[in-house]
């Protein structure tokens, strides 16, 4: 394997991962994002995460588990179990979040409670997307090494759907902290999990990662993203008082994700 091939594969991963910065820039570009923008952006983020979880990540996890188990029924059962394990893990983390960013803890004012909720929403979204992007980066990197003609459209498709993922991280964090810079960099960091995943996978994990590990991970990540969408993103969007904006954003997010996945089928 020559250095040029490795550099090409890593360049693809870096390109797709850093597209979350575009979403972050779009989210912080507005001077005063009003409730309509907040509701739409958060709804869009939820739509992206729900659609990609059910239509791409969970099926991919079950397919990987099928490679390992050899039977569709066993793979489906394992995928469903992993999905709910992911939900359980993020629910436990939700209860263990430090008081200063946990809206379940008492707050002195309504505004403080809102900021805490938004802060947790942004951090959890960044966490979930980083978990998702980590194996995604490794998978893209492997594709680049083995089949560049397949890896290029995969990287472009990932870049397209990473843009609204960047918005998902930046919008609540900007509202919570009042800092455009922090919101932008959190969005960027969540995307950098892709090249980090590629590097670690190439250097350490490649000999040990098999279909079973990847399959369980993908299914659990789908559960994490669904929980965040339903427990954090949509309730926070509804709190703006702009119900229809949230729903329109939700549908738009699903449509964007659907198109980005179908472009390179």
**Binding site per annotation, positions for Zn(2+):** 136, 161, 165
Instruction: For residues 108 and 209, give the distance between their C-alpha atoms in angstroms, rounded to a whole number.
Output: 48
Total domains, the chain: 1
What pLDDT shows up at residue 95?
74
Q: What is the pLDDT along the chain (265 residues), one digit of tens a residue?
A: 578 888 888 888 898 888 888 888 877 876 656 788 778 877 887 888 788 889 888 998 899 899 988 889 999 999 999 999 989 988 887 776 554 444 444 445 666 666 777 777 777 777 777 776 776 677 678 767 766 766 676 677 677 667 777 877 887 788 777 788 888 888 888 888 888 888 887 777 667 767 887 788 778 888 888 887 888 778 878 888 899 999 999 999 899 878 877 775 5
**Domain membership flag for residue 133:** yes
What residues have CB less than 8 Å from 56, skipping those under 6 apart?
261
Tell me the CA distances in angstroms from 154 to 8, 105, 186, 187, one per residue in order.
14, 42, 24, 21
**Binding site per annotation, positions for Fe(2+):** 133, 136, 162, 165, 194
What pLDDT shows up at residue 105?
46
DSSP single-letter state for residue 94? H
**Binding site per annotation, positions:** 133, 136, 161-162, 165, 194
**Domain membership flag for residue 104:** no
**Domain membership flag for residue 138:** yes
**Domain membership flag for residue 103:** no
What pLDDT shows up at residue 146?
65
**Residue numbers of the domain that contains 218:** 3-27+35-98+110-263
Q: Are 18 and 188 in contact (CB under 8 A)?
A: yes
Instruction: For residues 172 and 229, give the distance between their C-alpha atoms in angstroms, rounded to a whole number.
Output: 13
Which of 61, 76, 77, 225 has the alpha carbon at shortest distance from 135?
61
User: 10 Å Cβ neighbour count for 15?
Assistant: 18
**Domain membership flag for residue 105:** no
**Domain membership flag for residue 85:** yes
**Domain membership flag for residue 230:** yes
What pLDDT shows up at residue 117?
72
* Number of alpha carbons in the 13 Å side-chain half-sphere of residue 87: 14
Q: Are 86 and 244 in contact (CB under 8 A)?
A: no
**Domain membership flag for residue 84:** yes
């Amino acid at each position: 394997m020559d250095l040029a091939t490795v550099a090409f594969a890593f360049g693809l991963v870096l390109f797709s991962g850093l597209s979350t910065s575009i979403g972050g820039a779009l989210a912080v570009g507005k001077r005063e994002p009003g409730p309509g923008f907040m509701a739409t952006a958060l709804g869009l983020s939820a739509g992206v995460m729900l659609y990609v979880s059910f239509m791409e990540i969970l099926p991919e996890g079950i397919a990987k588990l099928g490679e390992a188990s050899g039977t569709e029924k066993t793979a489906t059962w394992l995928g469903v179990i992993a999905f709910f394990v992911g939900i359980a893990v993020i629910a436990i983390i939700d209860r263990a979040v430090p008081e200063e960013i946990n809206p379940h803890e008492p707050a002195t004012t309504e505004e403080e409670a809102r900021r805490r909720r938004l802060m947790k929403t942004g951090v959890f979204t960044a966490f979930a997307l980083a978990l998702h992007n980590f194996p995604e980066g490794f998978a893209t990197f492997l594709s680049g090494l083995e089949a560049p003609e397949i890896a290029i459209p995969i990287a472009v498709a990932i870049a397209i759907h990473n843009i609204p993922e960047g918005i998902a991280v930046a919008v609540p964090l900007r509202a919570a902290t009042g800092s455009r810079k922090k919101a932008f960099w959190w969005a960027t960091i969540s995307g950098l999990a892709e090249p980090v995943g590629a590097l670690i996978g190439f250097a350490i994990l490649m000999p040990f990662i098999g279909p079973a590990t990847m399959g369980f991970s993908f299914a659990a990540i789908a559960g994490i993203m669904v929980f965040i969408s339903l427990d954090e993103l949509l309730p926070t969007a509804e709190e703006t008082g702009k119900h229809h904006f949230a729903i329109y954003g939700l549908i738009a997010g699903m449509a964007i994700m659907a198109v980005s996945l179908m472009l390179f089928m």
